[in-house]
Amino acid sequence: MNTPTLRAGPPALEITGVRKAYGSVQALNGLDFDIRQGEFFGLLGPNGAGKSTLISIISGLIRADEGHVRVLGHDTVTDWRAARRTLGVVPQELVFDPFFKVVDLLRIQAGYYGCGREVWPWIDEMLERLELGNKRTAMMRSLSGGMKRRVLIAQALVHKPPVVILDEPTAGVDVELRRTLWRFMRDLHAKGTTVVLTTHYLEEAQEMCERIAIVDKGRLRIVETTEGLLNRHPFRFLTLKLADGAAMPAHLAELVTSVKGDALELKLDRERHPIASVFAGLKAAGIEIADVSTREPDLEDIFVELTAKPAPGVVS
């Protein structure tokens, strides 16, 4: 994980006061944040959080009710041509034109962006790198889902955009291909491209992204460096198996967050509940420990904490 890169000039993406409603559903409820040039940025949130809606607004596919977005300083509405030239977007849906060959489709897409033969070698390079070399002249409709996904990625990059947004590029993709895509995204980023990634695989976001925004119900919950996010919660997890199936003493039972078989997971505040105090408590109650392990919090714990649904009856 690299530290965020600082570069002069406008932010790669500037999202200001963006709201969008679909009928009575408020998909985006006033989003404000920037993504810096050269960042590898994670946009996370549960299903229906509004991630794809935001991406559609950035790419000009839908219009925001309020607020605006700038891509490298270009407003997506008033300066749409420059904004769109600067941006490459891989949509979440597996959409494609079934009537064209892979290479023709990519050359057509390049043409839409005003790029001619000069990018054909780049298109061939991408096909090789995405392991599509032998599908170059295959018809789109004859490709498997994973292959179509890779064509979609190449399609977003034909014009070598400085800002790339990938909406769940690794959804439904096998382990090997996922590694290929990770390598590909890392290389893009290393060459200076700003990469924005949405994913539901939190270990992927933790591994790849320098900074992360978590969106929920159309609102920004947090935007923070991945490291900062992980250090934010002074928790650690302790898993215990008690000998002879003994019960947890009452004052420790309230720290148990999950039970798997006879393994109990306790969530401990580093300050208030040092591990030693748990051991002491058990000893005092005369309970023997059969097995023990600890785990540092990962992004998933933080994600769950930030996006947890309030208990029924609780007004939030």
Partner 1 sequence: MSPNQLGFYTLLKKEVMRFWSVLAQTVTAPVLTALLYLLVFAQALQGRVVTGYDGISYTQFLLPGLVMMTVLQNAFANTSSSLAQSKVNGNIVFLLMAPIGPVEMFLAYVGAALVRALLVALAMLAVAGPLVGLPIANPFALLAMFLLAGSALAVLGIIAGIVSTKFDHLAAFSNFIITPLSFLSGVFYSVHSLPPIWFTASHLNPFFYMIDGFRYGFFGHADVSIWLSLGWTAGFFVLMAVICLWMLFTGYKLRK
Ligand X SMILES: Nc1ncnc2c1ncn2[C@@H]1O[C@H](COP(=O)(O)OP(=O)(O)OP(=O)(O)O)[C@@H](O)[C@H]1O
* Footprint of Mg ion (CB under 5 A): 51-52, 92
Window of 54-62, 221-229, 251-259, 292-300 that interacts with partner 1 by CB under 8 A: 54-62
User: What residues between 49 and 88 interact with ligand X by CB under 6 A?
Assistant: 49-53
- Taking a C-beta distance cutoff of 8 angstroms, is the pair 293, 241 a contact? no
Angle between helices 175-190 and 145-157 (to 10 degrees): 10
Nearer to partner 1, 110 or 268 (CB): 110
Q: Pick from 8, 9, 24, 47 the residue near ligand X by CB under 6 A.
A: 47
Helix (H) or strand (E) holding 13: strand 13-22
Distance of closest approach, residue 185 Cβ to partner 1, in angstroms:
19
Distance of closest approach, residue 205 Cβ to Mg ion, in angstroms:
14
Nearer to partner 1, 24 or 316 (CB): 24
25 contacts ligand X (rule: CB under 6 A): yes
Window of 19-27, 70-78, 185-193, 233-241 that interacts with ligand X by CB under 6 A: 19-27
Nearer to partner 1, 66 or 97 (CB): 97
Window of 76-84, 181-189, 190-198, 235-243 that interacts with partner 1 by CB under 8 A: 76-84
Window of 94-102, 122-130, 221-229, 240-248 that interacts with partner 1 by CB under 8 A: 94-102
- Taking a C-beta distance cutoff of 8 angstroms, is the pair 32, 13 a contact? no
61 contacts partner 1 (rule: CB under 8 A): yes
User: What residues between 100 and 139 interact with partner 1 by CB under 8 A?
Assistant: 100, 104, 108-109, 111-116
Distance CA 276, CA 287 (A): 14
Nearer to partner 1, 63 or 179 (CB): 63
Distance of closest approach, residue 94 Cβ to partner 1, in angstroms:
9
Q: What share of the chain is helix, strand, coil (3-state, %, to 5)?
A: 35, 30, 35
**Residue 201 binding: pick among Mg ion, partner 1, ligand X, none (C-beta 5-8 Å cut-off by kind):** none
Distance of closest approach, residue 199 Cβ to ligand X, in angstroms:
9
**Residue 48 binding: pick among Mg ion, ligand X, partner 1, none (C-beta 5-8 Å cut-off by kind):** ligand X
**From residue 243 to residue 262, what is the string marking binding to partner 1 with x (rule CB under 8 A)?**
--------------------
Residues 6+ apart with CB under 8 A from 32: 15, 16, 17, 18, 220
Angle in degrees, CA 180, 185, 190, rounded to 5: 125
User: What residues between 147 and 166 interact with partner 1 by CB under 8 A?
Assistant: 155
- Taking a C-beta distance cutoff of 8 angstroms, is the pair 226, 212 a contact? yes
48 contacts ligand X (rule: CB under 6 A): yes
Residues near partner 1, by CB under 8 A: 59-63, 79-82, 84-85, 87, 89, 91, 93, 95-100, 104, 108-109, 111-116, 155
Residues near ligand X, by CB under 6 A: 22, 25, 27, 45, 47-53, 92
